[in-house]
Amino acid sequence: MINVAEINAMLKKMKYPKHCIYCEGIDESVENPVHHPSYEITPACNLNCIFCYSKVAEVKGSAPKPGYYGTLEPKAITISQYGEPFVVGTEKVVELIRKLRERFGEVRIDIQTNGTLLDPSKLGGEADIVMISLDAGSREKYKEITGADFFERVVGNIKQMAEQTYTVVRTVFMPGVNDGELENIAKIASIADELFLQPLSVYRENRRLLEMIEIERVESIGEFLEAAYRLLKITEVRIPGCLLLNIRSFLEKYDIGDLMLVKRDAFGSVPIMQREWRFRF
């Protein structure tokens, strides 16, 4: 039985994920926050994850064209929010990082990747943060979720990247699909710097996912926080900064018991890019 007072203490102490620093999502003064800038390479991906929003965006025609999106005075840039950046090869991604640094000077570069195609010996310490998705803690479940057999390769790449730069394991909490995997994922993530635990966004186009998830549990903030609390005993868990900020403002008015009963709307409609296209290298 988890004591809610301990979850409350966890929420008070928890730091923002490193990736969220400089994002408007953790700036209380911004009314309609948007994610910090990104450079989109391609919406294409070599996996077929059951929860993928990038594929939904492609089907709906809202996937962004390649290029840079957001302010021209960035403090952090994400490569990339859609698709898998390393389908173009690690050398090309390194080239892009160098061009972005040349153009913007001191800027933090975060890469979001599925970790299957990157070559750690070529990427080295070029990026400031490498966020590698891992939604299963076993080979079988990995295949079921992604449609491909790369579990060992991804775990190996997490290990190698963690030796070279700030490395984050990014896991989507999918009750009914991967709850039994989380402890193993956390053990793997303990060789990295953070486990970034994300709540699931559900799109009606992800039919297979809809058949597998337990939607009541997906929508429960309490379930999500209990999972984060459990995993904190194994590794450094962080939750999305914007969510943590909202939770903290909720807790200024209500108590933790109320928070544990809150349901969020997990359904998204069309994933859209909220920042303006600026240029392409």
Nearer to ligand SF4, 25 or 115 (CB): 25
Asked if 100 touches ligand SF4 (CB under 6 A), the answer is no
CB of 190 to ligand SF4, least distance (A): 22
**In the bound complex, which residue of the shown chain has the CB atom lying closest to ligand SF4?**
25
Asked if 20 touches ligand SF4 (CB under 6 A), the answer is yes
Nearer to ligand SF4, 85 or 241 (CB): 241
Q: What angle do CA 193, 85, 113 make, to 5 degrees?
A: 25
Q: Judged by CB under 6 A, which of 25, 43, 83, 271 binds ligand SF4? A: 25
CB of 40 to ligand SF4, least distance (A): 15
Nearest C-alpha neighbor of 206 from the set 86, 53, 103: 53
Asked if 271 touches ligand SF4 (CB under 6 A), the answer is no
* Stretch of 148-156, 166-174, 238-246, 271-279 lying at the interface with ligand SF4 (CB under 6 A): 238-246
Gap between the Cα atoms of 34 and 204, Å rounded: 24
Asked if 21 touches ligand SF4 (CB under 6 A), the answer is no
Half-sphere exposure of 80 (CA within 13 A, CB side): 27
CB of 20 to ligand SF4, least distance (A): 3
Q: Judged by CB under 6 A, which of 37, 175, 222, 240 binds ligand SF4? A: 240
Contact mark string toward ligand SF4, 26..65, x via CB under 6 A: x--------x------------------------------
Residue with the two structure tokens 């009606």 = 204
CB of 37 to ligand SF4, least distance (A): 11
Asked if 23 touches ligand SF4 (CB under 6 A), the answer is yes
Sign of the CA dihedral running 132, 100, 277, 58: negative
Phi-psi map region of 71: left, alpha, beta (phi>0 left; psi -120 to 50 alpha): beta
Asked if 231 touches ligand SF4 (CB under 6 A), the answer is no
Sheet-wide strand order for 194-199: 237-238, 194-199, 166-173, 129-133, 108-113, 76-79, 38-40, 67-69, 277-279
* Stretch of 40-48, 145-153, 211-219, 236-244 lying at the interface with ligand SF4 (CB under 6 A): 236-244
Name the H helices within 14-64: 53-60
CB 207 within 8 A of CB 48: no
CB of 246 to ligand SF4, least distance (A): 10
Nearest C-alpha neighbor of 84 from the set 54, 61, 124: 54
Gap between the Cα atoms of 125 and 94, Å rounded: 10
* Stretch of 22-30, 65-73, 200-208, 254-262 lying at the interface with ligand SF4 (CB under 6 A): 22-30
Which residues are within 8 A (CB) of 276 and not within 5 positions of it... i.e. 6 or more apart?
Answer: 69, 70
Residues lying near ligand SF4 in the complex (CB under 6 A): 19-20, 23, 25-26, 35, 240-242
